[in-house]
A and B are shown apart, each in its own frame.
Chain A
Amino acid sequence: MAEQPILEVRNLRKHFNLGDGKILKAVDGVNFAINKGETFGLVGESGCGKSTAGRTIIRLYEATDGEVLFNGKDIRKLEGKQRQQLYRNMQMVYQDPYASLNPRMTVGNIIAEGLDIHGLASGKKRRERVSELLNDVGLNEEHASRFPHEFSGGQRQRIGIARALAIEPQFIIADEPISALDVSVQAQVVNLFKKLQREHGLTYLFIAHDLAMVKHISDRIGVMYLGKLAEVAPSEQLYAKPLHPYTQSLLSAIPIPDPQLQRKRERIILKGEIPSPLNPPSGCPFRTRCPFAMDVCAQVMPEFKEVEPGHFVACHLHT
């Protein structure tokens, strides 16, 4: 593995102070690395901290503790010019294509905002770049003078992607970029992400809750539960041989669009719901819903260990 990681997240923590001495540990000690040109999928249920992790990495939130190394530099220490330089290389695509585009700006100005901020293009060059980007994402240059409300959800998401691409970043964080879209449109947008990756050599952090879609797009996947990573593995391996009981039950909970297979399948239906992150269980956070919970699980948080090359898991069953 001589590959140079483009992003390394070390022991990242983001705690929100809610007052009254209440602390919400949204992200609590997360470690992973993303190699150049790779897609890393981050999955988990609502409230597991996956979006907070993404936002902390790009510094929309300031981390409570830990390091985020981007091309070897700790982004938490960058300020001023250097910080601006960071955002030339790291961009974000948001979940809600209705809320994340300014309704009072034309599509052309939305896309070119990054170019303006970084002083990359103006005048004719700026116009050319905008139409090039619109073509790249499957829209056309006449769309530049229109406003966001004139577009459908899928088209808006394409605009959001064009905006992220405008300044030619190396790395894009996509936070649930398809969950607000219809199935047939989801497929269009996912295919677009893949095409752009091939053409521009992009690296993605793809945050989502739809495991089937994440498997489709990712090279490696991390599964989060209550602010911690439960398992990280290459995507084929994660689906073929999930080790963490939570990953196993997540996979088994996904309905398969195939009635015959569905009838044969034995499913693990988890009892109960995710405990409140304000008051997480002692030891392993999953133990309250885990069918294999042992005494030790309540006492000690299992270490996040590499059990096979590239396959990490935090579970006492695998120590």
Chain B
Amino acid sequence: MAKPILEVNDLRVSFKMYAGEVQAVRGVSFTLNKGEVLAIVGESGCGKSVTAQTIMRLNPTPPSIIKEGSSILFDGKHEITKLTNSQMEHVRGEEMGMIFQDPMTSLNPTMTIGAQISEGIRKHQKVKKVEALLRASDLLALVGISNPHERLHQYPHELSGGMRQRVMIAIALACNPKLLIADEPTTALDVTIQAQIIDLLRDIQKKTETSIIIITHDLGVVAEIAQRVLVMYAGRVVEQGYLDEIFYNPQHPYTWGLLRSVPRLDSDTKSALVSIPGTPPDLFAPPKGCAFAARCPYAMKVCTEIDPGHFRVSDTHSSACWLLHEDAPNVERPIEAGGRTHG
């Protein structure tokens, strides 16, 4: 059994606002093993980015509050929720790296590429400036940038979107992190560039054996890179399992809806797409019971009253849905969800 690099237990994060408290993450638990790629999927506002930012403690407190009882154990020794800011700074730079969605705004426009990559190296490893720059140039080569020596002296505006994302990856890798968190790393890019970046991430994962958490709303990207999948809805994990379990044997109606609402190139139907009616609930006052009940075609009385908890499907697969209870009626599962034939 592989050793876990990250164990998140009952993570709850809220934001204090003038109008009340937004409960962005409401009890998320999962583990990430060494060398594994985990995808967190869900729509905007489901709490996937807040979860990732909290693992790196990037959310300022206040307004964000990590609730009592939450635990994030990193590498078996660091309890992230309890570290002081300066302790956290060490962990963040040396052992975790983050890739943000928007390469246009997350690089410093007034610093050269070389300075930005070597900044982290010089802060966390006692090396000379020249050495740090040499290492920066190696990193640029690793992420597939040609003429790395010349690039060191360029500014972000001189690079294209795809190149900037490569630079971001180089910065994240600068201190050989054990964990890499990529928050929608390809969303702002064109498809052909997206393909290049995914290829690069896979390649780096193989070479460095870094554990990766990738946050995305694109199920296609998930299918390409992830080994395990976490489906989130309204601040909770509704289903988790290995890639094939989620795609071919999904158990939660929300996962069914997500899988069915993406059009596919290989489907030749001109029929209507199956959409999920309605919109996610307001997290100022999350509903009692299952948050998806209001949009769920299979909702029963119990769904609106009691939270389903997690039902075990297999050792590695669980789903938070009352349909899995032994007393629940047997519903006919939409065939396309998972059982789609392909040849």
Interface residues of A (CB under 8 A from B): 45-46, 152, 154-155, 182-188, 190-191, 194, 209, 211-213, 215-216, 236, 239, 249-262, 267, 269-270, 273-274
Contact = CB atoms under 8 A, between A and B. Distances in A.
B258 A45 contact: no
A191 B223 contact: no
A170 B227 CA distance: 48
B9 to A, nearest CB: 28
Contact of A183 (B217, B243, B272, B342): B217
A172 to B, nearest CB: 19
Interface stretch (B90-98, B110-118, B190-198, B308-316): B190-198
B222 interface: yes
Question: Which of A45, A188, A255, A273 has the most chain B CB atoms closer than 10 A to its own CB?
Answer: A255
Interface string B319-343: 0000000000000000000001010
A36 B243 CA distance: 44
Nearest to B263: A216
B277 interface: yes
B243 to A, nearest CB: 5
Interface string B213-225: 0000111111110
A45 B191 contact: yes
Interface string B45-73: 00000000000000000000000000000
Interface of B: 43-44, 160, 162-163, 190-196, 198-199, 217-224, 243-244, 247-248, 257-259, 261-266, 268, 270, 272-277, 279, 340, 342
Question: Which of A46, A185, A211, A250 has the most chain B CB atoms closer than 10 A to its own CB?
Answer: A185
B201 to A, nearest CB: 13
A18 B143 CA distance: 34
A297 B263 CA distance: 35
Nearest to A219: B270
A280 B30 CA distance: 49
Question: Which of A155, A239, A259, A274 has the most chain B CB atoms closer than 10 A to its own CB?
Answer: A259
A260 to B, nearest CB: 7
Dominant secondary structure at the A interface: helix
A273 B217 contact: no
A82 B342 CA distance: 53
A142 B243 CA distance: 44
Given A255-B224, A260-B244, A267-B195, A186 B279 contact: no
B24 to A, nearest CB: 16
A252 B224 CA distance: 13
19 contacts: A45-B190, A45-B191, A152-B279, A182-B217, A183-B258, A184-B43, A184-B257, A184-B275, A191-B275, A211-B265, A212-B263, A254-B220, A255-B198, A255-B221, A255-B223, A256-B266, A257-B264, A269-B199, A273-B160
Given A212-B263, A257-B223, A269-B192, 14 more contacts: A45-B191, A183-B219, A183-B261, A184-B276, A187-B275, A215-B265, A216-B263, A216-B273, A252-B195, A253-B191, A255-B224, A258-B340, A259-B244, A273-B160
Contacts of B217: 182-183
Contacts of A188: 275-277
B44 A182 contact: yes
A191 B190 contact: no
B195 A45 contact: no
Contacts of B218: 255
Contacts of A191: 272-273, 275
Contacts of A258: 223, 247, 264, 340, 342
A250 B218 CA distance: 17
A274 B274 CA distance: 35
A273 B163 contact: yes
Nearest to B42: A182
Contacts of B199: 269
Given A182-B217, A188-B275, A273-B193, A257 B44 contact: no
A267 B202 CA distance: 14
A187 B259 CA distance: 11
B273 A257 contact: no
Contacts of B222: 257
B191 A256 contact: no
Contacts of B248: 260
A256 B276 contact: no
Given A259-B244, A269-B196, A183 B191 contact: no
Given A182-B44, A213-B263, A215-B265, A257 B247 contact: yes
